[in-house]
Amino acid sequence: MLKQFLLISVLFIFSIDKSNAQQISSKETSDPKEKTAFQTGSPWIPEIDVRSDVAIVYGIGDRQRMTFEQRVKTWRDRGYTTYFMTGIAWGSYDDYFLGKWDGKNHLGDGQVDMKGDTIWHGKNIPYVVPVASFIQYMKTGVIKKVIDAGITSIFLEEPEFWARAGYSAAFKNEWQKYYGFAWKPQDKSAENTYLSSKLKYHLYYNAIKQVSSFAKEYGKSKGLVIKVYIATHSLVNYSSWKIVSPEASLASLPGIDGYIAQVWTGTAREPTYYDGKEKERVFENAFLEYGSMVSMTAPTKRKLFFLTDPIEDWPRDWKDYKQNYQATFTAELLYPTVNNYEVMPWPERIYTRPYKLANSDVKVLIPRYYSTQMQVMINALNKMPLTNNYISGSRGIGVLMSNSLMFQRYPTHNGFEDPQFSNFYGQTFPLLKLGIPIETVHMENLSYGAALKGIKVLIVSYSNMKPLSAQVHQYLANWVKQGGILIYCGRDDDPYQSVMEWWNTMGNHFKTPSEQLFRILKIKPTTENQKFKVGKGIVYVVRKNPKEFVMEANGSNQFVDLIKQAYENDAKAGKLIYKNSFYLERGPYDIISVMDESISNKPYIIDGPVIDLFDPELPVLTEKIITPGHQALLYDLNRIQNKKQPQVLASASRIYNEVVKSNSYSFISKSPLNTSNSLRILVPKEPKSITLTDNKGLEISGTNESWDNESGTYFLSFDNNPDGIKVKLNW
């Protein structure tokens, strides 16, 4: 009915205006989209009216003298679709923890470390061991209330069990039930650590399975279709930060509809080793984090939102935030199969809290130049298309990863160490730094045919993970026999090789998991580097742990040479191209990142005319030069879809109600209060006049305007207003 009404309205405009008036964008009352979102614990206030499609309302409790239902209503009244998010491992659940819910105090359900200390997320908010009572509370005390409020999309955030935890009475009880024998302290042996982590993994898998199933069934009883998503850090980050979570296994649960990939400066700036040096490598790390989330979800066809954050949890300065935001933002855009985004978490934190200026102790609210740039970027996400284009570089090289990467990170046993998660980065950074868009492959998804689609060379190591079933090896062996090239790297000398697992129980007597893989492949590697023909494929065995490739200066040279040989000669996949950049074309957008520590210090040059979307002035450039260590997001004016159609090409606001006539173009612009708008507008000729009016019809002054004759675009800047400013250009 609504679509019919809009169509009739447009036809009516044509019938009464003979000057070719055209309504070119739908009104805010049209069917809601769910492409972009942000999460907030705040009710609506004008300073944080980001204008994404969805407001994810956080937390079930009362805030600022408002009930949860009232908070939700403030966002709905402003035209937002509303979702809900809450922590599944922690939260402001005082009614549960302090005994109001069932008459029992549950602070003892918290995760406890070796010293006997509870691991806290906040006051009266422990990280939880998800025992049966907590799961029941999540169902009836949280999820039921949310669905009763009319919300049909629920996000369960951060199912996290700290690797250093595992010493509480609650956990010991769960151990006994799961394993059938008494708890063993994880600090005493590698096997105990592995078993402890495996149980932590299972506990949150079970909790999410039960809660998501309840949400679906309860919604169904009310005639509602409920969607449940997991908001989670990447497997790369959790493994690096020594946290255990179900991760990839959840993608196959019928109760899970998708994920938010929680990647941002705070995760991506974790220092890493490369060429013997430890330092922050934000773009490269973010690229791998987002990639691991894509490989985790793509084979299962679950919806995936990419998150990035214009600031981060840790207090820094605005210059630092801006630089690293550009790096992570570029990394997410380089994945062409994803175009759903959480544009920011906590806008109230970004817009209303002061942080330091660079090289100063002075704290200020977000500078106008940065809020304008940020809003240009997030409004580009509202239009960001999917594309069949690929990121530049030699494709088809993958690295196998598994949830078990989280199982052997803490504590250290028998002198075995993996500093800064270097066994993973040793398999990825040497290629990524050469401009090769390395992919990750999730072991848990090998049963899906799409998991290894397009992979020509697969790098595997059991130095920092272990296969969770013998079936994994059957999938790998079948792939090799059909022509795949597998490169196995590892000395198989870590203390986790002999933990109690399938390869040494249930009638199996293999000393290491790789021994069982080699048995299926019918090869017998020694301690030397070797090459084997297996069916139509090839297996290389390299007797080095991958961390050696990055923790030692020039440590990756032989590894890269081997990859080149495998790719070009064995896989016959074409020339392995080395470069220092990545480039992707998405509709009119150019996305570029140029890396340092690479094959050269050569800059990447884009010919114009392009609009620089990282510059709040939105300049039209005839050429853009991107130097190593920097990124760019550009709008290519040669790829405008309809050059005869007046349109806003870039804006630090969201655009509504566009109307085109033969000699005018008008629209309504909305964005948060106390921010400045910048717009680059395509019009057929230089405007003779421009008028701006607020939502009450009062004319607005104080604009900054300029005409670029070469590109046929008009620059306009003024103060934003979430109630809307109507802009009309006449020519």
User: Are 373 and 462 contained in the same domain?
Assistant: no
Strand, coil or helix: what is 272? strand
3-state secondary structure 282-307: HHHHHHHHHHHHHHHHHHHCCEEEEE
Residue 536 lies in a domain: yes
Lowest mean per-residue pLDDT among 245-254, 532-541, 617-626, 634-643:
245-254
pLDDT, average across residues 422-447? 98
User: Are 297 and 353 contained in the same domain?
Assistant: yes
pLDDT, average across residues 333-340? 98
Q: Is 70 exceeded by the pLDDT of residue 250? A: yes
Which residue, 103, 114, 272, is CA-closest to 186?
114
Q: Is 80 exceeded by the pLDDT of residue 15? A: no
Residue 685 CB: number of other CB atoms within 10 A? 11
Q: Quick check: 661 and 684 in contact, CB under 8 A?
A: no
User: Are 328 and 469 contained in the same domain?
Assistant: no
pLDDT digits (tens, 9 = 90+) for 452-462: 999 999 999 99
12 — pLDDT class (breaks 50, 70, 90)? very low
pLDDT at site 64 = 79
User: Are 63 and 192 contained in the same domain?
Assistant: yes
Residue 651 lies in a domain: no
pLDDT at site 251 = 84
DSSP conformation letters of 601-643: -PPEEEEEEEEETTSTT--EEEEEEE-TTEEEEEEEGGG-S-T
Strands, sheet with 704-708, edge to edge from the N-terminal-most edge strand: 647-651, 676-682, 713-719, 704-708
Element of type H or E holding 4: helix 2-16
Whole-Å CA distances, 307 to 47, 313, 359, 632, 727: 21, 14, 28, 18, 31
Q: Give CA–CA dist 632/327, Å, rounded.
A: 9
Residue 652 lies in a domain: no
User: Are 136 and 188 contained in the same domain?
Assistant: yes
pLDDT at site 285 = 98
pLDDT at site 22 = 54
Instruction: Tell me what the pLDDT averaged over the chain comes to.
Output: 94
Element of type H or E holding 96: helix 94-97
CATH number of the domain at 544, please. Answer: 3.40.50
Q: Is 60 exceeded by the pLDDT of residue 444? A: yes
pLDDT at site 25 = 45
pLDDT, average across residues 382-408? 98
pLDDT digits (tens, 9 = 90+) for 285-323: 999 999 999 999 999 999 999 999 999 999 999 999 999
User: Are 65 and 175 contained in the same domain?
Assistant: yes
Cα separation of the two ends of the chain:
37
190 — pLDDT class (breaks 50, 70, 90)? very high
Q: Give CA–CA dist 244/196, Å, rounded.
A: 10
User: Are 348 and 431 contained in the same domain?
Assistant: no
Q: Is 60 exceeded by the pLDDT of residue 403? A: yes
Residue 48 lies in a domain: yes
pLDDT at site 300 = 92
2 — pLDDT class (breaks 50, 70, 90)? very low
pLDDT at site 23 = 54
**DSSP class of 568:** I
User: Are 211 and 140 contained in the same domain?
Assistant: yes
Picking from 546, 570, 594, the residue at the C-terminal end of a domain is 570
Residue 490 lies in a domain: yes
**Strands, DSSP E only, in 352-435?**
355-356, 363-364, 397-401
Give residue 204's identity as a one-letter amino acid code: Y
Picking from 353, 381, 409, the residue at the C-terminal end of a domain is 381
Q: Is 70 exceeded by the pLDDT of residue 14? A: no
User: Are 354 and 418 contained in the same domain?
Assistant: no
Please count the CA atoms within 13 angstroms of the CA of 689 that sit on its side-chain side.
3
Percent of the chain clearing pLDDT 70 (strictly above): 96
Q: How far is CA 318 from the centre of its chain?
A: 22
Lowest mean per-residue pLDDT among 58-67, 236-245, 327-336:
58-67
User: Are 549 and 404 contained in the same domain?
Assistant: yes
CATH number of the domain at 176, please. Answer: 3.20.20.80
Which residue, 432, 409, 429, 431, is CA-closest to 419?
409
Q: Give CA–CA dist 58/29, Å, rounded.
A: 24
pLDDT at site 9 = 36
User: Are 238 and 303 contained in the same domain?
Assistant: yes
446 — pLDDT class (breaks 50, 70, 90)? very high
Percent of the chain clearing pLDDT 90 (strictly above): 93
Which residue, 281, 240, 286, is CA-closest to 261?
286
Element of type H or E holding 71: helix 68-76
Element of type H or E holding 542: strand 537-542
Q: Strands 725-730, 81-87: parallel, antiparallel or unpaired by DSSP?
A: unpaired
248 — pLDDT class (breaks 50, 70, 90)? confident
572 — pLDDT class (breaks 50, 70, 90)? very high
Q: Quick check: 242 and 162 in contact, CB under 8 A?
A: yes
Residue 727 lies in a domain: no
214: Cβ contacts below 8 Å, ≥ 6 apart: 139, 143
Whole-Å CA distances, 569 to 231, 375, 434, 457, 538: 42, 48, 19, 11, 11
pLDDT at site 33 = 81
pLDDT, average across residues 20-37? 58
Q: Quick check: 92 and 125 in contact, CB under 8 A?
A: yes
Q: Quick check: 463 and 423 in contact, CB under 8 A?
A: yes
Task: Give me the domain span that covers residue 167.
Answer: 33-381
User: Are 354 and 415 contained in the same domain?
Assistant: no
Quote the Cα angle for 264-269-274, to 5°: 135
Q: Give CA–CA dist 185/372, Å, rounded.
A: 53
Q: Quick check: 257 and 228 in contact, CB under 8 A?
A: yes
pLDDT digits (tens, 9 = 90+) for 209-244: 999 999 999 999 999 999 999 999 999 999 999 999
Q: Quick check: 406 and 245 in contact, CB under 8 A?
A: yes
Return the biggest CA–CA distance within the chain.
85
Strand, coil or helix: what is 180? coil
Residue 248 lies in a domain: yes
pLDDT digits (tens, 9 = 90+) for 666-689: 999 999 999 999 999 999 999 999
Residue 469 lies in a domain: yes
Count of structural domains within the chain: 2
pLDDT digits (tens, 9 = 90+) for 127-153: 999 999 999 999 999 999 999 999 999
3-state secondary structure 158-179: CCCEECCECCCHHHHHHHHHHH
Lowest mean per-residue pLDDT among 296-300, 512-516, 543-547:
296-300
